[in-house]
Amino acid sequence: MRAKEGLWFWGNGSLQTTVDLRQGPVRITVVGRGVRVDGEWPRVDIELGSEPVASLTIDGFTVADHTAVVPAASSGRSVLKLRFTNYVPVPEKPLTSRGLMVERVIVSQP
C-alpha cells in the first residue's frame, strides 16, 4: 500500500489489504509520522487474518520506518489490517490533535 502524499488520519480509522504469505515471520513496516498530544504518539495496531499481532508507536514528526516482525500462522492469503486507535482531539486547537500520516506500508518475508 502506498499513498503518494501520505494518508492522514485525523480520527480513529483503519487501512486493510489482502496479502499472500508463507508460514513464518513477516516484516511489516509502516512508513509515516505522527503528531503527539499529551505526551503520547499515535499507535497503530496490526491484525493479520483478524488476529491482533503487534502494536507500533509512530514516534516522530518526520517520516520514518516503524517495523514489527510478526508470525504468519499459515501460508496463503490473509487480510492485513492497520488500525489507528488512540486519536485525541484538542478542540481549542484542532490542528494539534493527535494525528497519523501513513506514507506507505511494506510487507516482506525472508
pLDDT higher than threshold 90 for residue 90: no
Please give the residue range of the domain that contains residue 37: 2-108
Q: What is the mean pLDDT of residues 71-78?
A: 94
Structural domain total, the chain = 1
Structure confidence at residue 4 as a pLDDT band (50, 70, 90): low
Residues 5, 18: Cα–Cα separation, whole Å:
22
Q: Check residue 99 and give its pLDDT.
A: 87
pLDDT higher than threshold 90 for residue 96: no
Report percent pLDDT > 70 for the chain: 95
Domain with residue 43: its CATH number is 2.60.120.260
Distances in Å between the alpha carbon of 53 and those of 38, 59, 88, 92? 26, 19, 24, 36
